[in-house]
């Protein structure tokens, strides 16, 4: 016969206090969070990389969060909520690197922080993992020179011109075009608004008829440019160069409507950053690069390579 002993009031009080301070968490596995930008194909690939790393790291949980409204306030709110839930480390793709440095520093005082996509080099982040955006700008400049062999005028389109990745891409493009007969006539921003991004292109087609090459610096700018130029019936008059691998962009390259796109490797952004953070949390501080950067190379995708690249991207989506 089993004897059941009813817990005393003192025992129950101890349990309650323990739960109060420790949250009664059954799962004490440390969690690493990846905070992305807006929900685009680009960040879908980063999420796939995070999921792969999660599967390979049984000692950690990995959570992936999109920033739905493209606002820095939302990124901060997401991180604050995760901090309340006790995350161990975070990877952030900052939307406004110039103004988000204090936010990164405040977070870094509580947990390890790594940065991806657009660096904040003077912050307290442990490491930047992503593209050399100056180098990527040079690649875009090569495509522009190919599109305009006799020279011409170029208009750039981007979400925020003061974002670090945008500034560095513009710098790389300017350096590559230096000494050519190609002129950058301006930069149109859309504040990460797809409707406005397309409207900017439509307006430019009317107000800047002398421009014969449009360049989209962020992932959604490619489809925005392509669709606006299609609707205007000016595909033969305006060359298009863009960044990243949204489906419409790749299809435009395949159809010969886009000269080419400079692609990064967002899958590796997710995969490598999660693995590096896990190593750091496990005490392996030597894994951090001495210069604080891990550069993942960008490459040019043109019509001759786009079919194989689409197959590769489809395979990553299924992971």
Quick one: pLDDT band at residue 232, thresholds 50, 70, 90?
very high
Q: How far apart are the first and last CA of the chain?
A: 54
Quick one: pLDDT band at residue 60, thresholds 50, 70, 90?
very high
In the predicted model, what is the mean pLDDT of the chain? 90
The whole-number average pLDDT for the span 49-76 is 91
Q: What is the pLDDT of residue 28?
A: 81
Q: What is the pLDDT of residue 26?
A: 43
The CATH H-level (homologous superfamily) assignment of domain 133-263 is Response regulator (3.40.50.2300)
pTM of the predicted structure, to 2 decimals: 0.78
Domain boundaries, the chain: 27-131+266-288, 133-263
Q: Which residues pair with 299 in a beta bridge?
A: 263
Going by C-alpha positions, the residue among 8, 69, 7, 83 that lies closest to residue 36 is 69
In which residue are the tokens 């449009």 written? 214
Could you tell me where the beta strands, DSSP code E, fall in the chain?
31-35, 61-65, 89-92, 113-116, 128-130, 152-158, 182-189, 213-216, 239-243, 260-263, 293-295, 299-301
In contact, 252 and 130? CB cutoff 8 Å: no
Query: Same CATH fold, 133-263 and 27-131+266-288?
Result: yes
pLDDT tens-digit map of 5-34: 444 554 444 444 444 444 444 458 999 999
CATH code for the structural domain at 27-131+266-288: 3.40.50.2300
């Amino acid at each position: 016969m089993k004897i059941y002993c009813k817990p005393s009031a003192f025992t129950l009080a101890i349990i309650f206090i323990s739960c109060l301070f420790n949250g009664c968490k059954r799962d004490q596995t440390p969690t690493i969070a990846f905070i992305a930008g807006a929900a685009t194909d680009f960040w879908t690939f980063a999420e796939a990389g995070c999921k792969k790393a999660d599967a390979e790291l049984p000692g950690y949980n990995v959570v992936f969060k999109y920033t739905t409204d493209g606002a820095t306030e939302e990124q901060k709110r997401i991180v604050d909520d995760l901090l309340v839930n006790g995350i161990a480390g975070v990877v952030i793709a900052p939307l406004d690197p110039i103004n988000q440095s204090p936010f990164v520093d405040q977070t870094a005082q509580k947990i390890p922080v790594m940065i991806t996509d657009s660096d904040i080099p003077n912050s307290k982040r442990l490491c930047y993992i992503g593209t050399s955006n100056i180098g990527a700008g040079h690649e875009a400049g090569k495509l522009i020179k190919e599109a305009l062999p006799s020279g011409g005028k170029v208009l750039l389109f981007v979400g925020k011109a003061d974002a670090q990745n945008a500034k560095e891409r513009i710098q790389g493009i300017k350096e590559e075009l230096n000494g050519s007969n190609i002129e950058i006539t301006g930069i149109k921003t859309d504040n990460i608004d797809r409707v406005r991004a397309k409207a900017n292109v439509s307006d430019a087609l009317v107000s800047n008829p002398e421009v014969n090459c449009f360049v989209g610096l962020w992932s959604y700018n490619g489809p925005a440019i392509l669709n606006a130029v299609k609707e205007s019936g000016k595909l033969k008059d305006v060359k298009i160069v863009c960044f990243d691998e949204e489906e419409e962009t790749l299809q435009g390259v395949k159809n010969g409507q886009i000269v080419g796109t400079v692609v990064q490797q967002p899958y590796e952004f997710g995969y490598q950053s999660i693995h590096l953070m896990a190593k750091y949390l496990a005490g392996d501080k030597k894994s951090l690069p001495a210069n604080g950067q891990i550069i993942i190379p960008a490459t040019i995708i043109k019509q001759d390579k786009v079919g194989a690249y689409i197959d590769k991207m489809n395979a990553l989506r299924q992971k």
